[in-house]
Chain A
Amino acid sequence: MRPHYASSIANIQPPKQQQYFEGNRKGEVNELKILVKNNLSEKDDKKKREVIKKVIAYMTLGIDVSKIFPEMCMASYTNDMVQKKMIYLYLTTYAEQNKDLAFMAISTFQKDCKHSDPKIRGFALRNLCSLRFSGAIEYLMPAIKESLSDIDPYVRKTAIMGCVKVYYMQPDYLSNIEEQLYKMISDNDPLVIINAIHALNEVLAQEGGMALSKKLVDYLLGRLKEFNEWGQATILDELSKYQPKDDTEMFNIMNLLEERLKHSCSAIVLAVIKVFMNFTKNKPQIYQQVITRVKSPLVTLASISEGNFEIMYTILCHIKFIASKGYNQVFAQDYKCFYSRVDEPTYIKLIKLEILSLIACDINLGDMLNELGEYVTDVDQEISKKSIQALGAIAIRLPDLANAIVKQLSSFITLQDYITNEIIIVFKDILRKDPKHIKDCLDIIQSDSVTDQNSKITLIYILGQFGSQIPLAPYILQTFVGSAEESVELKHALLTSCIKVFFTRAPEMQEILGKLFYCIINNENEDIDLKDRAAFYYRALQNNPNELKKLWQYGIKIDKFLEEQNINQEALLFEFNSLSVIYEKNVNKFIKSFEYFNNLRNKELQDQIQESQQTTTEKQEPIQDGFDNEQTITIPNTPNLLEISNQSQPSLTIDSFVLDYRIDVEYFENMWTSLNNGASFTRQLARIDIANENSMEQLFNRYRLYNIAAGEEDNVLQMYFYGAHKCQVFFEFEINKNLNTVLLNTRSELEDQAYLAQKYVQDFLKQSNLIS
Chain B
Amino acid sequence: MFSQIFILSPRGDTIINRDFRSDLPKSTPETFFRQAKTYSGDANPLFTVDCIQFAHIKRGGLYIVGTSRFNLQPAMSLELLDRLAKEIKDFCGVINEEVLRKNFILIYEILDESFDFGYPQLMATEQIKPLIVNDPIQPQPDSVMNSLRPKIQTFNIFVPNTIGSQAVQRSVLNKNQANEIFVDIYEKLNVLFNSSAYVINQSIEGCIQMTSFLQGNPPLKLALNDDLQIGRQQGQYSAGVILDDCNFHECVNANELDMNKTLRIQPPDGQFVVMNYRISGDYAAPFRLFPIIEEISSSKIEVTIKLKACFDAKIIASYATIRIPIPKQTANAYTELVKNAQQETAEYDSNKKMVEWQIKKLNGGQERSLKIKLTLQATQTAHTARKEIGPIAMNFEIPMFNVSRLQIKYLRIEERGNTTNPHRWVRYITQSSSYVCRI
Check if B73 sits within 8 Å of A303, measured CB to CB.
no
Query: Which residues of chain B are near A716, meaning CB under 8 Å?
Result: none
Known contacts A62-B17, A307-B158, A263 near B248 by CB under 8 Å: yes
Near B by CB (< 8 A), chain A positions 369-384 give 374, 377, 379-380, 382
> Does A343 make an interface contact (CB < 8 A)?
yes
Check if A597 sits within 8 Å of B74, measured CB to CB.
no
Query: Which residues of chain B are near A558, meaning CB under 8 Å?
Result: none
Check if B246 sits within 8 Å of A267, measured CB to CB.
no
Query: Which residues of chain B are near A367, meaning CB under 8 Å?
Result: 200
Check if A307 sits within 8 Å of B156, measured CB to CB.
yes
> Does A271 make an interface contact (CB < 8 A)?
yes
Q: Which of B273-281, B287-295, B405-413, B414-422 contacts A (4 or more CB under 8 A)?
A: B273-281
Q: Which of B37-45, B169-177, B215-223 contacts A (4 or more CB under 8 A)?
A: B37-45
> Does B369 make an interface contact (CB < 8 A)?
no
Report the bound CA distance from A271 to B58 in whole Å.
24
Near B by CB (< 8 A), chain A positions 663-692 give none
Known contacts A81-B133, A581-B74, A158 near B116 by CB under 8 Å: yes
Identify which of B40, B53, B82, B384 contacts A414 (C-beta below 8 A).
B384
Check if B45 sits within 8 Å of A313, measured CB to CB.
yes
Near A by CB (< 8 A), chain B positions 27-57 give 27, 29, 39-48, 51, 53, 56-57
Query: Which residues of chain A are near B325, meaning CB under 8 Å?
Result: 379
Check if B108 sits within 8 Å of A309, measured CB to CB.
no
> Does B80 make an interface contact (CB < 8 A)?
yes
Near A by CB (< 8 A), chain B positions 155-183 give 155-158
> Does A72 make an interface contact (CB < 8 A)?
no
Report the bound CA distance from A560 to B42 in whole Å.
38
The A interface, classified by DSSP as helix, strand, loop or mixed, is: helix
Check if B23 sits within 8 Å of A56, measured CB to CB.
no
> Does A499 make an interface contact (CB < 8 A)?
no
Q: Give a binary string over A300-316; 1 marks a CB under 8 Å from any B CB, 0 the rest.
A: 11011111111101110
Identify which of A307, A414, A583, A598 contacts B48 (C-beta below 8 A).
A583
Q: Which of A241-249, A490-498, A585-593 contacts B (4 or more CB under 8 A)?
A: A585-593
Q: CB-nearest residue of chain B relative to A374?
A: B438
Check if B42 sits within 8 Å of A346, measured CB to CB.
yes
Check if B275 sits within 8 Å of A314, measured CB to CB.
no
> Does B423 make an interface contact (CB < 8 A)?
no
Known contacts A342-B434, A374-B438, A592-B69, A347 near B247 by CB under 8 Å: no
Identify which of B40, B131, B155 contacts A119 (C-beta below 8 A).
B131
Near A by CB (< 8 A), chain B positions 193-245 give 200-201, 203, 205, 207, 244-245
> Does A229 make an interface contact (CB < 8 A)?
yes
Q: CB-nearest residue of chain A relative to B82?
A: A308
Q: Which of B97-105, B307-315, B357-365, B370-378 contacts A (4 or more CB under 8 A)?
A: B97-105
Q: CB-nearest residue of chain B relative to A311?
A: B78
Check if B158 sits within 8 Å of A341, measured CB to CB.
no
Report the bound CA distance from A310 to B29 in whole Å.
19
Report the bound CA distance from A61 to B245 in whole Å.
46
Check if A296 sits within 8 Å of B245, measured CB to CB.
yes
Q: Give a binary string over A270-288; 1 marks a CB under 8 Å from any B CB, 0 the rest.
A: 1100000000000000000
Inter-chain residue pair count (beta carbon < 8 A): 268
Query: Which residues of chain B are near A414, meaning CB under 8 Å?
Result: 384
Q: Which of B122-130, B296-304, B337-345 contacts A (4 or more CB under 8 A)?
A: B122-130
Check if B75 sits within 8 Å of A315, measured CB to CB.
yes
Check if A300 sits within 8 Å of B24, measured CB to CB.
no
> Does B387 make an interface contact (CB < 8 A)?
yes
Check if A336 sits within 8 Å of B201, measured CB to CB.
yes
Q: CB-nearest residue of chain A relative to B6?
A: A60
Query: Which residues of chain B are near A48, meaning CB under 8 Å?
Result: none
Query: Within the complex, what minimum Cβ distance (angstroms) separates A402 from chain B?
Result: 24
Report the bound CA distance from A306 to B273 in whole Å.
8
Check if A310 sits within 8 Å of B51, measured CB to CB.
no
Check if A93 sits within 8 Å of B19, measured CB to CB.
yes
Identify which of A194, A415, A579 contacts B74 (C-beta below 8 A).
A579
Check if A267 sits within 8 Å of B13, measured CB to CB.
no
Selected A-B contacts with CB under 8 Å, 8 pairs: A93-B19, A165-B117, A194-B119, A233-B76, A310-B81, A311-B79, A342-B436, A374-B391
Which residues of chain A have a CB within 8 Å of any CB of chain B?
A: 1, 3-5, 53, 56-57, 59-62, 81-82, 85-86, 89, 93, 96, 119, 123, 126, 130, 132, 157-158, 161, 164-165, 168, 191, 194-195, 198, 228-230, 233, 237, 262-267, 269-271, 296-297, 299-301, 303-311, 313-315, 317, 336-337, 339-347, 367, 374, 377, 379-380, 382, 414-415, 575, 577-583, 587, 590-592, 594, 596-598, 600-601, 604
Contacts A57-B104, A380-B40 aside, 6 further interface pairs with beta carbons under 8 A come to: A1-B13, A263-B247, A271-B76, A304-B277, A314-B46, A579-B46
Question: Top 10 closest A-B pairs, CB basis?
Answer: A307-B157, A341-B434, A346-B41, A267-B76, A310-B45, A266-B75, A592-B51, A264-B247, A230-B120, A345-B42
